Structure 1
């Protein structure tokens, strides 16, 4: 896959490195009635948000929490302490308001959006008339879970591209200018370890952990499965192709 094939799927992002604007904002911070730098990391964060938004008086509006949920076919190889059915059960818990992310979203006034982008179970569409503050379900399923990446590619490139396009379109349609991202899917840490190992050229054992609570023996078994996946897709190196394969 050539670099040009990433566009317009992965559009270029304008640089935020505007030295003159950064200096202008820093001077505004320094001229506040306080000792220089006394707010520590809060000042650094204010400067970064100002540069991201291109405003010397930045405001974060209508923050959106978006949790993407999907299943992984690799779970069939015993890489998780829990069965795949937990994925759809947790999605139900998000929507019922009983999960940690549900509580934190309510507590801080953040809109909670739950996206079915590949759960191995169908959900009924929500009513258009939701109570104020209720979690919202978005149905953007590409397939009922990925394929087992130890046996072949987890996704086709068409599925991978459709998933990225769906996510981008959804976020562009949401209000506000502040975004928090989350994920739910039994087997997620296995895919994360595979991507990190391949894209950063790291030994998979160094980036494989217990996930949701595997024993030492379970972690060793998980790492061995992931080694087999990496070997099967040894010739796949381009980032989006790696994402689809694993």
Structure 2
């Protein structure tokens, strides 16, 4: 796998940023989480006047072989149907991108359908879906590296366009299954606590999903140690591309808004590879998917929102953007005690 050069954020500016925040005309600490967000963003960008220039949303699509085992309430054709719907502006992700001024890039990393007739979809297809990991690896190491490079290249492109903040969403039926297994294997949390309803399974469906994923994990455990990374064995192409995007974004000191369960699993994987990547991440939302809060707890991450969302597509991250924007506006636009001729009252 490609090597990334990701360093923890340089904290040299912390006292100066804190002084600026504390001197704003407000009681010290009275804007709470906005103040810690402003600090994090200032340290990421190494400035007292941070910017959220040209926000971009990457919507990554891919299909999963494990869908054939009935682990999702929705069939795989929903993936390509929704990808086409996104090109027409009809998805939740479209609405929120329009609302918050995000440049939306729709990317086919591994959808099991020919989408080349839709020029609004960026074609980076690795294959038409992964293999069924109940019987073997979901992808080859070469495919893993190819998908990782997709994410790297996308971030390089948006960075060259001036983007300084991005969020990542996904479209891939059954992708809560590999996410649950990554969570289990990377955290040690029992598998049954990592598995939820996905897009709407009932209790019987969740039991079936657990049985299928348990068998897959048991087979993987019989392999020789280090013979195949769990990221390769169980991953989805869109998920691996998300890891590549997160790592490259951290390498380039971009702000990364992390969405729900699946993107948190990708963030977990990225931080497993490069722990310093978490310095560049803002965890935006804790949804209803079973295990999501446990994964956030493992990462010591406090989400900005708890809205019960489970749509995916990166919608939770987009909904949280105004809070991040408020933090930046606070440090850049709020007056200070000296200029306002107000006696300090903290």
Matched, 1:245 2:233: yes
Closer/same/farther in 2, CA of residues 68 and 139 from structure 1, 3 Å limit: same
* Structure 2 counterparts to residues 1-246 of structure 1, below 5 A: 6=1, 9-18=2-11, 20-124=12-116, 126=118, 136-174=120-158, 175=161, 176-234=163-221, 235=223, 241-246=229-234
CA contact (8 A) 2:84 2:118 kept: no
Closer/same/farther in 2, CA of residues 236 and 108 from structure 1, 3 Å limit: farther
Structure 1 counterpart SS, 2:121: strand
Structure 2 counterpart SS, 1:233: helix
- How far residue 238 of structure 1 moved from its aligned partner, in angstroms, is 5.6
Separation in structure 2 between the aligned mates of residue 25 and residue 225 of structure 1, nearest angstrom = 50
**So what's the TM-score if we normalise by structure 2?**
0.64
CA contact (8 A) 1:198 1:237 kept: no
Separation in structure 1 between the aligned mates of residue 121 and residue 106 of structure 2, nearest angstrom = 5
CA contact (8 A) 1:155 1:244 kept: yes
Separation in structure 2 between the aligned mates of residue 10 and residue 186 of structure 1, nearest angstrom = 30
Structure 2 counterpart SS, 1:59: coil
Closer/same/farther in 2, CA of residues 232 and 95 from structure 1, 3 Å limit: same
Deviations 1:8-51 (A, max 9, x none): x1403122142x31111001111112211111111111110000
Separation in structure 1 between the aligned mates of residue 95 and residue 82 of structure 2, nearest angstrom = 14
Deviations 1:134-193 (A, max 9, x none): xx4211100000000001100001100110011111111112111011011001100100
- How far residue 240 of structure 1 moved from its aligned partner, in angstroms, is 7.7
Deviations 1:77-108 (A, max 9, x none): 00000100000001011111111110010111
Structure 2 counterpart SS, 1:208: coil
Task: Point out where structure 1 has 5 or more consecutive residues left out of the alignment.
Answer: 1-5, 128-135
